[in-house]
Structure 1
Amino acid sequence: MRQRLSSEPDRYRGRRRVPTPPRSRYAVVVTSAFVGAGVVALGAASNLPDAKAVSPDVLKSLETSQVAADALDQREQEGTRASRGNDRAAGAEVDAETAAKDIYVLPLDDYQFTSPYGVRFGKLHAGIDLAAPEGTPYKAVHGGKVTSAGYNGGYGYSITVQQDDGVEIIYAHSRRLLVEKGDVVKAGQVIGEVGNTGYSYGTHLHLEIHENGTPVDPIVFLQAPGRGVDIKLQIESVYAGMAAAEAAAS
């Protein structure tokens, strides 16, 4: 290598060399470049529509749709509750009707027991006699269909009511009938008035019950479990009341 002579001009004389930057400065420069690029990108993006921003019209449409959906859901729930309520009410009505069909009641509220079921004057007296003032309203002992209503020989003006199970109850010697053939009656419904028609001795209601086409004792029939009508108990209570009244008067 040739040695530079002192007489040769120094080509670098009067110039300043730029010192080589340290590695940490390179990192700062690179980072600044990335940050600047990011700022530029954000500035460009600021001119684009925001992806999260929704048009007010769209929001209003969505709100309207939601309100309609809530209304339909509420209506459906109310309809379900109403349906359940109607089902329960219908069930209650059916139960009430079923219970009403099974009820047995006394035909008269106040009466005197004058003749039992059995043989009388050599013939079967096929019912019982309950004396009461003429014109006293009497009621159906049980619900059923009126199969006969009119004058019937020795029974006088009488009514026959047939139950769903085929049992027939006859109300005889009436003064007046308040139902007609074909009518459907309920237990406790007033169907006639006590009288003295036909082969009758004194004003009374003749009550007769036929089971499977054969007369049975009304007292025993009505006392059976599930019916619970005690004509004898009613008689005893009437006599007990009379005795109490007499005792009080004396």
Structure 2
Amino acid sequence: MQYRPALSKESDRYRGRRRVDTPPRTRYVAVLATAVAGAGVVALGAGATVDDGKTDPYGIEVSAYSTGAASDRAAVADRASRSDTREAVTTDDRDPDAWVLPLHDFKLTSRFKSDWNKSHQGLDLVGPAEGSAIGAVHRGTVVQAGWNGAYGYSVIVDHGEGIRVLYAHASHVLVHVGQRVEAGQTVALVGNTGLSYGTHLRLEVYSNGVVQKPLEWFKEHRVDFELEIEAVLGN
């Protein structure tokens, strides 16, 4: 699946770190987030979770959210509200085709790689502090939220037409399965859980269960991780 909307000029397509004015009908402000790294393979087309056998997925999740639940939730909410984020601002006639970056001010440390001796199926984004907000790149429905084996705490959002995006190694998950989210809405907080060697965001894209090359795929949707620019509008 490819989206190739025609825009009048290049400046209409992208927004960098400096915002550009947008038409009053539709405006998106994406959530800044941070990065997660990780290892493992997830079958997003079918199961959408990875069980590496290292831990009890329910036991870890219960300990994180049940023990001192009230104070933990308050602390998480406070971090999310104070982190360097942009809340998703939309109107009733918002454009459902807008795509945005999951965070800003990051460093792209690992890219998609698949060869005979090494495989890396996503992007690793480093920079924002642990507890910073991770924003959904597009509107969709949450199909996985919680412990996910080597990915640690993760969220998978189904964007329709077979497209699913994975956000991994989060410190906390702030959405639940079945929840509808908008572009830029906070879905998790940056962390270092699972098979991870530092605070970061791991981002993976799947189309009908097949992993995609994320840099190229996002560029087709007017989001460039190398230049840190994103689509303000959809069509």
TM-score, normalized by the shorter chain, greater than 0.5: yes
Does residue 109 (structure 1) correspond to residue 88 (structure 2)? The answer is: no
- Whether the 8 Å contact between 1:100 and 1:187 is mirrored in structure 2 is no
1:162 corresponds in structure 2 to 158
Q: Secondary structure at the match of 2:150?
A: helix
- Whether the 8 Å contact between 1:179 and 1:192 is mirrored in structure 2 is yes
Amino acid at match of 1:138: I
Q: CA RMSD in A?
A: 2.0
1:176 corresponds in structure 2 to 172
Amino acid at match of 2:107: Q
1:228 corresponds in structure 2 to 222
Q: Secondary structure at the match of 1:228?
A: coil
CA distance in 2, matches of 1:199, 1:212: 25
- Whether the 8 Å contact between 1:100 and 1:186 is mirrored in structure 2 is no
Encode CA deviations 1:33-67: one digit per residue, 9 max, x unaligned. xxxxxxxxxxxxxxxxxxxxxxxxxxxxxxxxxxx
CA distance in 2, matches of 1:166, 1:196: 28
Encode CA deviations 1:113-151: one digit per residue, 9 max, x unaligned. 110011389332110000132111110001100000010
Q: CA deviation at 1:110?
A: 1.5
Task: Compare the two structures and name the one with the higher helix fraction.
Answer: 1
Looking at both structures, which has the greater relative contact order when contacts are Cα pairs under 8 Å and sequence separation is at least 6? Answer: 2
Does residue 124 (structure 1) correspond to residue 100 (structure 2)? The answer is: no
CA distance in 1, matches of 2:149, 2:118: 17
Encode CA deviations 1:66-121: one digit per residue, 9 max, x unaligned. xxxxxxxxxxxxxxxxxxxxxxxxxx79xx66753101000002211110011389
CA distance in 2, matches of 1:230, 1:211: 19
- Percent identity at matched positions? 43
Q: Secondary structure at the match of 1:201?
A: coil
1:77 corresponds in structure 2 to none
Residues 1:100 and 1:230: Cα distance change in structure 2 (over 3 Å): same
**TM-score, normalised via structure 1 length:** 0.53
Residues 1:117 and 1:98: Cα distance change in structure 2 (over 3 Å): farther
Mark the runs of 5 or more structure 2 residues left unpaired by the alignment: 1-24, 27-90, 230-235
1:153 is aligned, of 138, 141, 149, to 149
1:206 is aligned, of 202, 208, 217, to 202
Q: CA deviation at 1:166?
A: 1.9
CA distance in 2, matches of 1:121, 1:185: 37
Residues 1:204 and 1:100: Cα distance change in structure 2 (over 3 Å): same
Counterpart mapping for 1:1-250 below 5 A: 99-119=94-114, 122-131=117-126, 132-224=128-220, 227-234=221-228
Mark the runs of 5 or more structure 1 residues left unpaired by the alignment: 1-91, 236-250
Amino acid at match of 1:115: S
